[in-house]
Structure 1
Amino acid sequence: MHLPIFPNSANSFDLIDFPYETHKGERAVLLLQGRQVQILEKLNGLVISVEELKREVTFLKEAIPKLDELVRDELQGKTGSRRTSPLHRPAKKRKVEAAAQGVSDTTSSEEAESEGGYITAHTDTEGESEEEKGWINSSISSLTPEEKLVLQEVDRLHGGSEHEKRESFKLLLEREEQYRNHPGFLWRLARAYGDMFELTADADEKKNYAAEGKLVGENAINLDPSSAESHQWFAVMCGYLSQFETIQNKIRNGYLFKEHLDKAVALKPQDPLLYYLTGRWCYEVAQLSWIEKKVAAALFGTPPTSTIHEALQNFLKAEEIHPGYSKYNYVYLAKCYKDLGQRSNALRCCETALSILPVTNEDQEAEKILETLLPSLKL
């Protein structure tokens, strides 16, 4: 999006009432000075960006020499306590209490809250499809009857209202120690952290939920690398956490997001949510500026690459698997078509998106995007 950051100083000089006898050369000097001010302001912004990059590079240089030691400690089990401390565990009691208090049950749009911040995009009021239920049931098939009942109750609550999501989170926390070696339990806990991330507006709480959820998702993957859900929710947590990270960690989490999303797609190729998330990643990467790509290359060797066409193919795949999958999916289809110069297709997708009744918070956000997108397509 282009923003008129700097005022047009040259035009403002044109409005000055110069005396008739003012020499043209003097006027040209004044105009030149105005342009020089613009250039200096831009250079100042660039210097600030370079200084930030220098600080990031300095941080990396200080961390790299300690990498071998950290890896050795990890392999020797010296960092095992990390799982129960840093800045997340002390807040857990508070989270449990908040979950226990919950909020009044409601039939508002909060009831259809999405699965994590990257939007489940489901508009099907009947909940999960039979295929999705099969994936969920297969992940608990090896558990005892009691354990199955617990996870089935967790899944039921997760699909309910805001209050029920909080109850699901509370139930999982109460049994975390008991089921800490069950990947099917852990990815559900990571998913619940995603729910709590969505349900709070406090930035610190969001960061804690995302960080804790990422750690839990990582543990789930370590226990069962063949679990699509573990890879999926770990990826989503990486996406959430990147909102609060330094530039190098944002980029690192972006790589992790795509890596584990690809693994989830390979394990569960008929889930439209995974293609929608991949499309979002492709679209965002295609919009990266030259300097952002250079920063990624400097920090990690190879910058992420994608195109609007690749994003479009993923959104179309989600629609193919689940026609009418979501309002947001149509919005991004429209944005891709617009960027590719296919205005008629973009308008058609906008009209389809408008025909879907807003149910979730994300649907309402999609409505706002449509309000700004449609006028540009009708010019």
Structure 2
Amino acid sequence: MAQADSRALVLGALAGAAGISLAIVYFRKVKASDGRVRNQRSFGDHTDGPLCLQTGQAEVLDRLGALIHCVSELKEEVKALKDALPHLQDNVRDQLRGRSAEDISARRASPLHRTPTRRKRSGVPTRSEGQSSEEAESEGGYITALTDSEEDESDDERKPQQEPVDELMALLQKADRLHSCNGPEKAQGLSILLERKEEFDQRCQYLWRLARAYADAHDFASDHLEKKSCAENGKKYGKEAISINPLCAEGHQWYAILCGMLSDYESVQNKIKNGYLFKDHLDKAIELKPEDPLSYYLLGRWCYAVSQCTWIERKIAATLFGEPPSATVQDALQNFLKAEEISPKYSKFNYVFLAKCYKDLGQRSVAQQMCDAASTISVVTKEDEEAQKELDSLVASL
């Protein structure tokens, strides 16, 4: 119960007590006025007057007795509420901290946690007929309060049904944290996701992260067959993710990445096929999420690789698929610049490929500036190590 609700309850009880006191004063005035009227009546009513007067007084006294009894009970409840208010903050704090059920049940014995019940009169005759409107409203109020309490309990019973959603969010956040690591612990994301596969294998957000975890495991695998297996599994789950939600940008992005990884272990025909899949799904990822620098960086890599294809490779692609992929160094440069625009100093490799593009376009001075920018980024990840090797050979050729 909030502190504001408790104060409202106390004030309501006090207002009720004041109303009953006013009712008592009213009945006393009525009694006095009845006496004055009866004194002014003629002697013709002398026979019936005393009998009617006694009946009316008995009824008034009966009602006054009931009201006085209610006032005394209200005073007791108000006193109990006043005693409970100083400990309200402590009770709420203890409940929020989640104390044991025994402590909570002990606190519920205090007046603050009592469930409202109908008051029973002692020593006052009950009236099945002619029940006053005040008594009916009082009983209705207690029924309503009890119903509200039951509704609150039903809401609490429904809360555990939401736990699977909370567990999924916690799992995805943990997977994201492991993916952002730079050491071997990055590959641990795959094992924690696989442990909950049966529960969440129909969720797109889970599946594209599972595909990403396979890509991370691929980078840390040392065996050739293990790398190929990671790429195959990652591609499979990436495809499942976009089949469940075709509008998931990350699903398309990581499906494209796994297609590119798998092309290193496939035949020439499958390599070219995966290249087409890479481009199509990367374009879709950019369409759905145009401010992701990773997609532009990867598209720049694809454009640069296609621009370096030999005549024989283009001929094979045209024979197998009817139309060879086409891209220029200028296309690659624009994508690398876009990644840098969205996220300055995006990666060491992005600067290296910017330098390669400028070198191929004959702008060696700008290429040297890109090499200098790449040198300012420290080597942290395995990708940074590969970028540093290419940077060293590139600087030597300028």
Q: Does TM-score exceed 0.5, indicating one fold? A: yes
Find the aligned partners of 1:176 and 1:266 in 2 and give their Cα distance.
Answer: 29
Q: Displacement of 1:373 after TM fit?
A: 1.1
Q: Among 225, 228, 231, which residue is 2:249 paired with?
A: 228
Structural RMSD (CA): 1.4
Q: Among 290, 296, 309, which residue is 2:330 paired with?
A: 309
Give the equivalent residue in structure 1 for 2:46.
none
Structure 2 residues without counterparts, runs of 5 or longer: 1-163
Give the equivalent residue in structure 2 for 1:198.
219
**Which amino acid is the alignment partner of residue 313 of structure 2?**
E
Question: Using CA pairs below 8 Å that are at least 6 residues apart, which structure has the higher relative contact order?
Answer: 1
Q: Among 259, 263, 269, which residue is 2:290 paired with?
A: 269
Find the aligned partners of 2:266 and 2:184 in 1 and give their Cα distance.
Answer: 30
Distance 1:216 1:333, change over 3 A: same
3-state SS of the aligned residue for 1:359? coil
Give the equivalent residue in structure 2 for 1:252.
273
Q: Displacement of 1:375 after TM fit?
A: 2.4
**Which amino acid is the alignment partner of residue 318 of structure 2?**
A
Give the equivalent residue in structure 1 for 2:179.
158
* Count of aligned residue pairs for this structure pair: 236
Deviation string, structure 1 residues 100-153 (Cα, Å, up to 9, x no partner): xxxxxxxxxxxxxxxxxxxxxxxxxxxxxxxxxxxxxxxxxxx71222112112
TM-score (norm 1): 0.61
Q: Among 341, 357, 361, which residue is 1:336 paired with?
A: 357
1:327·1:353 contact (CA, 8 Å) conserved in 2? yes
1:228·1:265 contact (CA, 8 Å) conserved in 2? yes
Q: Displacement of 1:226 after TM fit?
A: 0.4
Give the equivalent residue in structure 2 for 1:364.
385
**Which amino acid is the alignment partner of residue 220 of structure 2?**
L
Give the equivalent residue in structure 1 for 2:313.
292
Flag the structure with higher helix content.
2
1:328·1:353 contact (CA, 8 Å) conserved in 2? yes
Matches within 5 A, 1:321-332: 321-332=342-353
Q: Displacement of 1:269 after TM fit?
A: 0.7
Structure 1 residues without counterparts, runs of 5 or longer: 1-142
Find the aligned partners of 1:166 and 1:306 in 2 and give their Cα distance.
Answer: 34
Q: Among 202, 205, 209, which residue is 1:184 paired with?
A: 205
Find the aligned partners of 1:224 and 1:348 in 2 and give their Cα distance.
Answer: 42
Find the aligned partners of 1:366 and 1:317 in 2 and give their Cα distance.
Answer: 19
Q: Displacement of 1:156 after TM fit?
A: 1.7
Percent identity over the alignment is: 57
Find the aligned partners of 2:179 and 2:383 in 1 and give their Cα distance.
Answer: 17
Find the aligned partners of 1:253 and 1:156 in 2 and give their Cα distance.
Answer: 29
2:249·2:289 contact (CA, 8 Å) conserved in 1? yes
Find the aligned partners of 1:327 and 1:166 in 2 and give their Cα distance.
Answer: 22
Find the aligned partners of 1:366 and 1:154 in 2 and give their Cα distance.
Answer: 26
Q: Displacement of 1:157 after TM fit?
A: 2.1
Distance 1:161 1:326, change over 3 A: closer
Find the aligned partners of 1:356 and 1:236 in 2 and give their Cα distance.
Answer: 24
Q: Among 199, 214, 220, which residue is 2:235 paired with?
A: 214
Q: Displacement of 1:166 after TM fit?
A: 3.3
2:182·2:380 contact (CA, 8 Å) conserved in 1? no
1:346 aligns with 2:388: no
1:272·1:319 contact (CA, 8 Å) conserved in 2? yes
1:242 aligns with 2:242: no
**Which amino acid is the alignment partner of residue 182 of structure 1?**
R
Find the aligned partners of 1:321 and 1:365 in 2 and give their Cα distance.
Answer: 23
Deviation string, structure 1 residues 67-123 (Cα, Å, up to 9, x no partner): xxxxxxxxxxxxxxxxxxxxxxxxxxxxxxxxxxxxxxxxxxxxxxxxxxxxxxxxx
Find the aligned partners of 1:360 and 1:178 in 2 and give their Cα distance.
Answer: 32
In the TM superposition, structure 1's runs of 4+ consecutive aligned residues that sit over 2 Å from their partners are: 160-167
Q: Displacement of 1:160 after TM fit?
A: 2.4
Q: Displacement of 1:161 after TM fit?
A: 4.9
**Which amino acid is the alignment partner of residue 148 of structure 1?**
M
1:162·1:199 contact (CA, 8 Å) conserved in 2? no
**Which amino acid is the alignment partner of residue 321 of structure 1?**
I
**Which amino acid is the alignment partner of residue 251 of structure 2?**
S
Find the aligned partners of 1:335 and 1:166 in 2 and give their Cα distance.
Answer: 31
TM-score (norm 2): 0.58
Residue range with higher mean Cα deviation, 336-345 or 363-372:
363-372
Matches within 5 A, 1:86-105: none
